[in-house]
Homo-oligomer: A and B are copies of this chain.
């Protein structure tokens, strides 16, 4: 059975924004049971963990002698080993992988930059002057994504690993993450509906519940 690593106490307090959520969701979609090893923040910087992931982050993936990291790579690996997360035809598979990279390399970076800014520079003199620039970067990318999505249910035909990643990326903008902020996704109704479609999948709900249970257990 594969083993992944996750935060012992997630900094998002069980909202499912840590990147083990993506891997849990992928396992649930394909019906693959998995084990989880929890890591304290201190443990992430220790050699035992750095031997699994040299950058000291979660999740990692172990199955026998195979060790992987990077949530996108782990989701792709699960999708390659099981049916259900990538189309069977080679061209459809290649297009879904294009959208996996688009989620992680084109849509996510300005969101992560905004998140880090909100957390680490909120007391800086330039906070209020810079914030609109970062929001506009996100809005520009989401506008392109919304234009493309139109009335499609999923990015390209049936639900795939690309939708799984894109939904988790867009969820990072939920205001629960930063109380009082507005959710830029809501300016694009088709993207809001798309995120909700993802969150209503039974596999998503099982994965969300599993990571929330870890956080709640840590609070006891």
Contact = CB atoms under 8 A, between A and B. Distances in A.
Given A54-B144, A65-B91, A97 B109 contact: no
A183 to B, nearest CB: 21
A108 B145 CA distance: 22
Contacts of A65: 91
Contacts of A145: 54-55
A41 to B, nearest CB: 15
A109 B57 CA distance: 15
Interface of A: 50, 54-57, 65-70, 72-74, 76-77, 80, 91, 94-95, 97-98, 100-102, 104-106, 108-109, 112-113, 124-126, 129-130, 141, 144-145, 147-148
Contacts of A148: 54
A179 B141 CA distance: 30
Contact of A105 (B97, B104, B130): B104
What is the count of identical protomers in the complex?
Answer: 2
A69 B147 CA distance: 16
A38 B187 CA distance: 34
A104 B104 contact: yes
Given A55-B106, A106-B55, A126-B126, A70 B144 contact: no
A58 to B, nearest CB: 12
Given A126-B130, A147-B54, A148-B54, A94 B68 contact: yes
Given A55-B141, A130-B126, A147-B54, A105 B102 contact: no
B69 A98 contact: yes
A71 to B, nearest CB: 8
B144 A102 contact: no
B97 A73 contact: yes
Contacts of A67: 95
Nearest to A141: B55
20 contacts: A54-B144, A54-B145, A54-B147, A55-B102, A56-B144, A65-B91, A66-B94, A68-B94, A70-B106, A72-B105, A73-B102, A77-B94, A105-B108, A109-B109, A109-B112, A109-B113, A124-B126, A124-B129, A125-B126, A125-B129
